[in-house]
Chain A
Amino acid sequence: MGGARLALGLTLSLILQPALPIFAQPTPPQPAAPPFVTGPEDGQWVIPQKNFANTRYSDLSEINTETVRNLQVAFTFSTGVNRGQESAPLVVGSTMYVLSPYPNILYALDLTQPGAPMKWQYNPKPAAAAQGVACCDVVNRGPTFANGRIYFTTLDAHVVAVNADTGEEVWKTKLGDINRGETMTMAPLIVRDKVFVGISGGEYGVRGWIEALNAEDGKSVWKAYNTGPDQDVKIGPTFKPFYDSDKGKDLGVTTWPADAWQQGGGTVWGWLSYDPDLNLLYHGTGNPGPWNPNQRPGDNKWTAGIFARDADTGEARWFYQTSPHDLHDWDNVNEMILLDMEWEGQPRKVMVHPGRTGFVYVIDRTNGEVLSAKPFHALTSVTGVDLKTGRLQTNPEKEPVNNRVIRDICPTAPGAKDWNPSAFSHKTGLLYIPHMNMCMDWESVEPNYIAGTPYIGAEVRMMPGPGGHMGEFTAWDIREGKELWTINERFPLWSGALATAGDVVFYGTMDGWFKAVHARSGEVLWQFKVDSGIIGQPTTYRGPDGKQYVAILSGVGGWAGSIVSADLDPRDGTAAKGFVNAMRELKNVTTKGGTLYVFKLP
């Protein structure tokens, strides 16, 4: 009798559930930004990532879903260089800082004056020959402010500190040698008294590393390589990786053919995150060298993965390899957004990482456990991530074979998404991912290592993915692991995203539109056509007049846009490592540029 009543009750509840969500399991809250980045909004934008958690979110809301349609140009400024502008305009107090691509000129603009006139410029005069060893246009991803100074890297592998008030050079340190293909393009991260920077050159057989410099004088504090013996990698007793494949002695040597780790790549040129509560620095490692995987049997540790390191000593704490024995140039340098979220009933400190492999990873940032990996891109060459072993599952049919053209590999060499950072809205709890929709043909060929020249060993040509469009702007539900809405774009998205408390999200397109979309519906609320394609990072700030401004650099280029910025010949589909095959039309819709645009409400 009792059993029957229970059964009836269960049946009823099952029937009624969809109509009465009040009886359903309460849905866990959306992920949230960690407490160390949720303080009161100061209206500034002092590092490209906005904060240590890399959320790229501002609490300013004067520009919102109602007012954004009135947005208009406040002032513009020419960087004087018409190569790819991947940098982020910073605002500290009443000064804006803009950094150009090579020759890496830093400008300070006075926001208190009408038209924001130039206060000073600083020119580090990098070696012109460095342009010859920059794989993918001569870009720079931004300056960083800390301790009254602006820190940035130069293409010829120097790090400089400049007095933020006067523009005087405080120190300048050489960290790499262009004769070995070493360059620098990343934005440094400053934590207290340390400047963290890494080397670029994964296409030149550079042995990747990250280094901590003393912010005061530029002297080295620690340096960790990403290939080679444990001692060089700073792997010691405190290294506790989550997966067995990362446990063992000197894996940075034994997972390579003899000595291949010395030209093994694993460079550091992407976004750094830092958790002050755990005192952990997070950095990705780039693709192994050469691209052709048949040259380097083994898992090729510690390339194409994520390191968590003690920020004071550089000692590795954990590592997770997103692409063991990487097949297709899948650097793991994309942003790692630090969030707190409930996972299977438990609160977890996580990092969210939209990777080149085509998955959005949710990883426990205390120990490197992958909680979920859900696809956000059309996939043919990978099938999933085995959560038991953490290993990327590949499709054997799409694996490279020497001297054979393998067709329709998705995602491509630049990945489902390249360097251009996503934004996380503290308000909607959603991730906004600017990414690609592309596939490629790939032929592995035997490469030849000559220091200072490329070390790749692959012929590539790319094409649009399913649907024919090449760019997508996606609002992503992290908890569910699925997209909420997506805006298709004709060209790949190579610009970063910006989220604001006004529920407006900004990004730019390679054909030159700067767009503001509704954070919840994806409706395009406002757009403005700038002088060249956009591959920069939008930022927002409160000006000295109390009004909210939005800033973006236009100037097409980067790997995707080098067909325009470097005048490449569209008749060769393999130009720009195969990107030209997909980008032929870009020459017909935009030209080179290098202009700062700043917008405000009337």
Chain B
Amino acid sequence: MRQLLILSLSVLALAACEREDREYRANPVTSETEEKIALSPLSAGPSGPTEQRSGLGQQYEENAYHIAQGKRLYIWFNCNGCHAHGGGDSGPPLLDDRWIYGGQIENIVQTIREGRPNGMPSFRGKVPDDQIWQIAAYVRSMGRNVPKPAAPGRNDDMHPGPAEQRRPPGEVMDGGQIPPAAQMPQ
């Protein structure tokens, strides 16, 4: 009886643990996800733009493993060369709340994949699709637009600021500002 109790309690305790899912088999480089999203909150007609998200974005940005992988890949693919550790350089900052080309994870995936006209290179065919999602998930964590437990802790390198996990929750301002130099007066 006592043994049965211990056994059932153990089973219950183990069942209470939720393990993060990991995709061990990634998609090949050539395939890419297709999310139906808009770049503008405005649409023809009063109903707002038609968008359809598969839910993949949420899976990525709520998953600590994916975000941690994204942080590593962010360096590997030289994202920090232009965006620093979120503060920006030749590329715009990523830890602030202004998103020129949309701040949802699906927008960020699209920006990485296709590039943007004022200097963001296109990484299509250069970075596997799941890694693009991981990088985008990490970018979302910079302004703490991901759940706190999933965001990375402090790293061993030079501290540019507090760790992603310790930042206050961010917000996303759609639209942001087009780089002023892109506005040709003529």
CB of B144, distance to nearest CB on chain A (Å)? 11
Q: How far is the CA of A447 from the CA of B80 in the complex (A)?
A: 11
Chain A 439-472: CB-based contact to B (< 8 A → 1; otherwise 0): 0010101011010111110010100000000000
Contact of A81 among B92, B118, B180 (CB under 8 A): B180
Q: Which residues of A contact B (CB under 8 A)?
A: 80-83, 101-103, 105, 121, 123, 125, 128-136, 138, 203, 403, 405, 441, 443, 445, 447-448, 450, 452-456, 459, 461, 562, 566-577, 580, 592
Q: How far is the CA of A456 from the CA of B75 in the complex (A)?
A: 11
CB-CB < 8 A to B86: which residues of A?
569, 571-572, 575
Find out whether the CB atom of B85 lies under 8 angstroms from the CB atom of A574: yes
Find out whether the CB atom of B158 lies under 8 angstroms from the CB atom of A461: yes
CB-CB < 8 A to A105: which residues of B?
184-186
Q: How far is the CA of A448 from the CA of B81 in the complex (A)?
A: 10
Whether A132 contacts B120 in the complex (CB less than 8 A), given A101-B181, A445-B157, comes out as: yes
Counting chain A CB atoms within 10 Å of each CB, the highest count among B86, B90, B184 belongs to B90
Find out whether the CB atom of A453 lies under 8 angstroms from the CB atom of B82: yes
CB-CB < 8 A to A80: which residues of B?
185
CB-CB < 8 A to B77: which residues of A?
448, 450, 453
Find out whether the CB atom of B87 lies under 8 angstroms from the CB atom of A568: yes
Find out whether the CB atom of B181 lies under 8 angstroms from the CB atom of A572: no
Find out whether the CB atom of A123 lies under 8 angstroms from the CB atom of B89: no
CB-CB < 8 A to B184: which residues of A?
103, 105, 123, 125
Q: How far is the CA of A196 from the CA of B76 in the complex (A)?
A: 37
Q: How far is the CA of A445 from the CA of B76 in the complex (A)?
A: 11
Q: How far is the CA of A133 from the CA of B157 in the complex (A)?
A: 25
Find out whether the CB atom of A448 lies under 8 angstroms from the CB atom of B78: yes
Contact of A129 among B87, B89, B119, B156 (CB under 8 A): B119
Judged by DSSP, the binding face of A is: loop
Is B177 interfacial (CB-CB < 8 Å)?
yes
Whether A572 contacts B93 in the complex (CB less than 8 A), given A105-B185, A125-B184, A131-B118, comes out as: yes
CB of B167, distance to nearest CB on chain A (Å)? 8
CB-CB < 8 A to B159: which residues of A?
573
Find out whether the CB atom of A459 lies under 8 angstroms from the CB atom of B157: yes
Counting chain B CB atoms within 10 Å of each CB, the highest count among A101, A405, A572 belongs to A572
Find out whether the CB atom of B119 lies under 8 angstroms from the CB atom of A574: no
Find out whether the CB atom of B186 lies under 8 angstroms from the CB atom of A129: no
CB-CB < 8 A to A567: which residues of B?
88, 92-93, 96, 98, 177
Chain A residue nearest to B91 (CB atoms) is A132
Q: How far is the CA of A364 from the CA of B152 in the complex (A)?
A: 56
Contact of A450 among B78, B161, B182 (CB under 8 A): B78
Q: How far is the CA of A135 from the CA of B8 in the complex (A)?
A: 63
Find out whether the CB atom of A131 lies under 8 angstroms from the CB atom of B181: yes
Whether A453 contacts B118 in the complex (CB less than 8 A), given A121-B186, A135-B90, A580-B87, comes out as: no
Q: How far is the CA of A102 from the CA of B118 in the complex (A)?
A: 11
CB-CB < 8 A to B179: which residues of A?
131, 566
Counting chain A CB atoms within 10 Å of each CB, the highest count among B85, B117, B177, B185 belongs to B185
Contact of A571 among B81, B87, B90, B119 (CB under 8 A): B87
Is B175 interfacial (CB-CB < 8 Å)?
no
Contact of B81 among A102, A103, A454 (CB under 8 A): A454
Find out whether the CB atom of B87 lies under 8 angstroms from the CB atom of A575: yes
Q: How far is the CA of A132 from the CA of B86 in the complex (A)?
A: 16
Whether A132 contacts B82 in the complex (CB less than 8 A), given A566-B92, A567-B93, comes out as: yes
Is B163 interfacial (CB-CB < 8 Å)?
no
Is B95 interfacial (CB-CB < 8 Å)?
yes
Find out whether the CB atom of A572 lies under 8 angstroms from the CB atom of B87: yes
Report 24 cross-chain contacts, Cβ distance below 8 Å, ordered by A residue: A81-B181, A81-B185, A101-B181, A102-B181, A103-B184, A125-B184, A128-B119, A129-B121, A131-B182, A134-B90, A136-B90, A405-B157, A441-B158, A450-B77, A450-B78, A453-B81, A459-B160, A461-B160, A569-B86, A569-B96, A572-B95, A573-B161, A575-B85, A577-B89
Is B84 interfacial (CB-CB < 8 Å)?
yes
Find out whether the CB atom of B119 lies under 8 angstroms from the CB atom of A130: yes
Find out whether the CB atom of B160 lies under 8 angstroms from the CB atom of A573: yes
Q: How far is the CA of A573 from the CA of B162 in the complex (A)?
A: 11
Q: How far is the CA of A441 from the CA of B179 in the complex (A)?
A: 30
Chain A residue nearest to B126 (CB atoms) is A450
Contact of A453 among B121, B156, B158 (CB under 8 A): B121
Chain A residue nearest to B93 (CB atoms) is A569
